[in-house]
Structure 1
Amino acid sequence: MNAYRAKPLRYPWPPMLYLTGIAAAMLAGRIAALAPIPSPHPMMMPAAGLAIGLLAVTLDIWAVRTLMERQTPVIDSACARHLVTCGPFRFSRNPIYLAYTLFTVALGLISGNSWFFLAALISVTATRLVAIPSEERHLEARFGFDYERYCKRTRRWI
């Protein structure tokens, strides 16, 4: 298979999947609020959410910066120029998607809206089914054995 013909995605689905999940969780929280998240202290969950949100934003910036430094497109619909295995990509093959998931969970903890947890789960599943298989086919076609070796030593999420 020609590596350039095996583009990862025609449309950048993952950001749209997570944004749709976040919007749906906000709407669902207004229409049918679920039971609040139990907490021994009223500020414990928002503080944890803020910490997780900060971690998510830091991870996302680190991953995007690593891709840009290696002259590799950040947008999923473009052809990969280099196999990036450094920075956060040493620990996760999908650190940006991991950051999106953590950020969605953080919004749930900060707002006390349990719908965000369901949105995170649905977004992860949709990303896993819609985006990741075509991205992995593209990277395998483009980088072959090097990508296979990378997959063996680096987990997909964490």
Structure 2
Amino acid sequence: MAVAALALYLTGLALAFGWRTFAQWRRTGDTGLRLDAGPAGSLSWWAKTAFVAALVLGLAGPVAALAGLAPLGVLDHAPVRAAGLVLALIGTAATLAAQLSMGASWRIGVDAGERTALVTGGPFALARNPIFTAMITTSAGLALMVPNPVALGALAVLVAAVQVQVRAVEEPYLRSVHGSAYRGYAARVGRFVPGLGRLPRTEPADRP
């Protein structure tokens, strides 16, 4: 299962970052990459640093399993590994589908001076951050395929990075750029899953 996890991880990485970036460049002339992490020690810097760490750990999990790192006994069962494979496959496909649904608005990272269209249809009608939801699903699946401490650590770091990125970086940016349109959308649609993490419809800035 470690070989399958490694192959699936590399395939997902190539599709979500490599192919998607190339497709964006071919379509718009812009790669969509906004990699400036901001000042060292800022929340945006920590979010990006943790995200990169999660990517490295995600690769290290299957590699560690191939090198002989023992899995946690409580998770080391064939049905658990099979469920992990299904989750990882669903997560990989959902990540790419959600990225494609953003069209020309797709970005990795945030440029505070840039304005793109607010995407609210397709998977974004179910959750405001379906790409991150799908990536976490993939990571959870991989962690179940090779349930060693490294893979489980990758999942934990990814969840933490995504939470900081969404709450401290992306949501403030979207509120500032799209104003009431985003606030109305965020009041209807959950943050990562349907119905959970919706923001109040009326904020102080909206009051007369």
Name the TM-score, length of structure 1 as normaliser.
0.76
Aligned to 1:4: none
Q: Is the 8 A contact 1:33 1:113 kept in 2?
A: yes
Question: How far off is 1:115 after superposition?
Answer: 3.5
> Quick check: 1:34–1:113 contact (8 Å CA) kept in 2?
yes
Which residue is 2:73 aligned to? 36
Deviation of 1:34 after TM superposition, in Å, equals 4.8
The code of the aligned residue for 1:50 comes to: L
Give the alignment of 1:81-100 within 5 angstroms. 81-100=116-135
Out of 73, 89, 94, the residue aligned to residue 54 of structure 1 is 89
Distance 1:139 1:24 in 2: 34
User: 2:157 corresponds to which letter in structure 1?
Assistant: I
Matched residue SS, 1:151: helix
Could you tell me which residue of structure 1 aligns to residue 157 of structure 2? Answer: 122
Gaps of 5+ in 2: 1-33, 38-46, 194-208
Alpha-carbon distance in 2 for matches of 1:38, 1:137:
38
Gap runs ≥5 in structure 1: 1-7
Say if 2:105 is the partner of 1:72: yes
Distance 1:46 1:31, change over 3 A: closer
| Greater RCO (Cα-Cα under 8 Å, separation 6 or more) | 1
**CA shift for structure 1 position 94:** 1.2
1:130 shift after superposition? 4.0
Query: How far apart are the structure 2 equivalents of 1:56 and 1:80?
Result: 28
Corresponding residue of 1:18 = 54
Ranges of 4+ aligned residues in structure 1 off by more than 4 Å: 26-32
Which of 65, 80, 84 aligns to 1:45? It is 80
The structure-2 alpha-carbon separation of the partners of 1:107 and 1:142, relative to structure 1 and needing over 3 Å to count, comes to same
Structural RMSD (CA) = 2.8
- Residues 74-130 of structure 1, C-alpha deviation per residue, up to 9 Å, x if partnerless? 322343411101111111111111112111111111123254233212221122124
